[in-house]
Structure 1
């Protein structure tokens, strides 16, 4: 009889009955029994708000460079940020779709519109590459912190960076962000792509001069191979989506900016009107960093929910079993096959799971057909095109109806994690698939 950490699957189900629903790949909602107040948890976490502010300052230093090499960042003065929009029509459509009244307001955080690589990965991924480049340039004596960083676009810096390499394992969007930014700076870049990575993503980064290495296995192998490659080369930096503090802090900067955006919209966040944020989750780095940043800013007045596909509930199983990265969905006989390619991860980040295990409010899962229906609905109602994984947060309002936040008047934020870089033909195909399910 197969055992997972000394227990059979039957024994796991006896102690955690929700595991049976997860194994049957049914949609499920798990409310975190270990959830604690922000004040009691933060004492045991070494990362602080100062670390996030330092990351934001570094991104600000790079703004002149980004404006120089990516003209699309000029309107935002070289800051990689996305709008947040009110979508009341979509809320009405969801009420009809689910045939129930949904409490609270609904906002969409449009990370699919992030400049350069059109997904949430433009935050952490690009930040880590820029931090690495800054370190090399400062060590070389060719750059000082006081300089105007637009000088980094000069050929002498490209020549400097060409002596170094960057590697990453990815299901798609992180590879895009790392690949585009690293190649622009002049690094040699290797992106190790899992079997579920979409062909158009692989083609796009190859066009940018990136070496793409493909595997017929899932994300975990792509990461392991990338790590192995970097260990054999002293001049190669590995971007570790599972364990990187730099990636995590790059994502966390989103919270500082979201606070300003909500102030501008006149959205008050308090005990009676909390924020409820729905974050699609793959390995956990992106949503984890954003969640941590939001907790630093809004403390107990923000409730974070991660969302995963029913066939890739990696973070959910890691948290329920408390095994984190010591367990995979395959251990429980789940296939990790989903159309939500950015979320097709079988083993979660232990770093993120352990850091947030008392700070996130819960996790829920959504099945692929449901994602396609919501994708088409969003196009029909708001004319907004996302990729399947980016609509994962929309069912949250309905799923949390009976939760403690439902008695208040929360502001729900659905984090739209990607989709802007999809070719029109793929958008159309996704839309038609959703219409056929509807």
Structure 2
């Protein structure tokens, strides 16, 4: 039972107080609008982070570009920039409109973080940034680096690897965050330990081990894996814990995507302003990556960007945290929801208190999707667009359909006076991972989707 959240509410009292919680606890699809979000000018006054923090993160990654080019030759063409493409997906848009019986006005695009260099997932942004910042801090503090104006290609030297081998990195994860920390950490020379929850895929564990990373498996959920990783790290003064639940650095690493994304839109002659709204649909686990991207986008586009997070019906931790305003004080288990999902990257039963409190000021809302929908669209994306994604990366795809077909979505459009501008809109689905999934696993996921009659499934809901 959920007890002592805001008031001494029981589970049934919460359901009576907020009917959307009843639907969530019954594993129904919901589309929720964040009525507490202020306009951007007011929101920026309420939080301690700013555009300056995002800019500093961008500058740090620029300094490390010289190292990244050497350490990861696949980034040579982008001069050490870790970035992904932005593609229009017209054919899958037609299928979405047909199955959900809705018109999606404007462009539908896919942000290809599934193919990000180095780690092949959205986590490459935040995790790699945090590892690099920690490496820079150590190097400056211990005199290995005289100033931030030096040539950072020296981080690829044997001398620096030997230096970093004295130190440890520890992280708790369902998989993708661990891959990013492990790949970059081990390349720099750190000893890396990754604590993985029961949701983590076997291939992710094997990938990390092949890079010399220690993997500790837990027969428990994400929250417990993080706690055990944190406890282990705290025992060693030379250990640094990448804390998915509380890290400002992770969030800022993700936020760097915004300015790069803006350049991509400009290159494609796509306008974002009051008459050309931008909608983002972001898969959400603990909240760091959708939170960071949203925060960065708001610094660039203000009220002209509308950011919605997507969660599995079996793991709606951010929704529960924000709707109850209990944040990390409530778990999906409290609402009698079984915390299991095929969308392993989103398998987080309790949201981040830091991220949820911050992003309450910026998220436009969120929604849930069924396991069958993720499976189906994974298969259909391959058939129609020839793009392989992992299940969690499909969570954003149904967002535009929900926005246009639900009462809540239509009310949101009206409240923001967007009715006459939707034909000018751009909808961006953020793909979080998939390019590193082994062929055998891709085939299993694809065949699972092929067996689903989504139209029949939806008609029963």
Q: Considering the TM-score relative to the shorter chain, is it more than 0.5?
A: yes
The C-alpha deviation readout for 1:419-438, integer Å capped at 9, x for no partner, is: 11100111111111101113
Q: TM-score normalized by structure 1? A: 0.98
Match of 1:225 in 2: 228
- Partner of 2:256, secondary structure, is helix
Instruction: Report if the CA contact (8 A) 1:169-1:191 is conserved.
Output: yes
1:165 aligns with 2:168: yes
The C-alpha deviation readout for 1:64-86, integer Å capped at 9, x for no partner, is: 11111111111111000001011
Which of residues 411, 414, 417 in structure 1 aligns to 2:426? 411
Kindly report which structure 2 residues correspond to 1:10-159, keeping only aligned pairs within 5 A, or say none: 10-143=12-145, 144-159=147-162
- Partner of 1:108, secondary structure, is strand
How many correspondences in the alignment?
Answer: 438
Kindly report which structure 2 residues correspond to 1:5-404, keeping only aligned pairs within 5 A, or say none: 5=5, 6-143=8-145, 144-401=147-404, 402-404=410-412
The Cα of 1:50 is off from its aligned counterpart by 1.0
CA RMSD of aligned residues (A): 1.1
Distance 1:325 1:368 in 2: 24
Match of 2:458 in 1: none
The C-alpha deviation readout for 1:336-365, integer Å capped at 9, x for no partner, is: 100000000000001111001132111100
Instruction: Report if the CA contact (8 A) 2:57-2:252 is conserved.
Output: yes
Instruction: Report if the CA contact (8 A) 1:83-1:110 is conserved.
Output: yes
The Cα of 1:2 is off from its aligned counterpart by 6.3
- Partner of 2:451, secondary structure, is helix
The C-alpha deviation readout for 1:12-36, integer Å capped at 9, x for no partner, is: 0111111111011111111112121
- Partner of 2:220, secondary structure, is coil
1:431 aligns with 2:434: no
The Cα of 1:42 is off from its aligned counterpart by 0.7
The Cα of 1:109 is off from its aligned counterpart by 0.3
Instruction: Report if the CA contact (8 A) 1:173-1:342 is conserved.
Output: yes
Instruction: Report if the CA contact (8 A) 1:103-1:397 is conserved.
Output: no
Distance 1:2 1:306 in 2: 23
Of 92-101 and 348-357, deviating more is 92-101
The Cα of 1:100 is off from its aligned counterpart by 2.4
- Partner of 2:396, secondary structure, is coil
- Partner of 1:308, secondary structure, is strand
Instruction: Report if the CA contact (8 A) 1:164-1:236 is conserved.
Output: yes
Distance 2:68 2:320 in 1: 39
The Cα of 1:142 is off from its aligned counterpart by 2.0
Distance 2:157 2:2 in 1: 58
Q: Could you say if the C-alpha distance between residues 2 and 331 of structure 1 is closer, same or farther in structure 2, counting changes exceeding 3 Å? A: closer
Distance 2:332 2:295 in 1: 25
The C-alpha deviation readout for 1:185-223, integer Å capped at 9, x for no partner, is: 010111000000000001100110001001111000010
The Cα of 1:403 is off from its aligned counterpart by 4.0
Distance 2:42 2:307 in 1: 17
- Partner of 1:103, secondary structure, is coil
Distance 1:185 1:121 in 2: 18
- Partner of 1:307, secondary structure, is strand
Structure 2: segments with no counterpart, 5+ residues? 405-409, 454-461
The C-alpha deviation readout for 1:96-126, integer Å capped at 9, x for no partner, is: 2223222221010000010000000000000
The Cα of 1:373 is off from its aligned counterpart by 0.7
Distance 2:94 2:286 in 1: 32
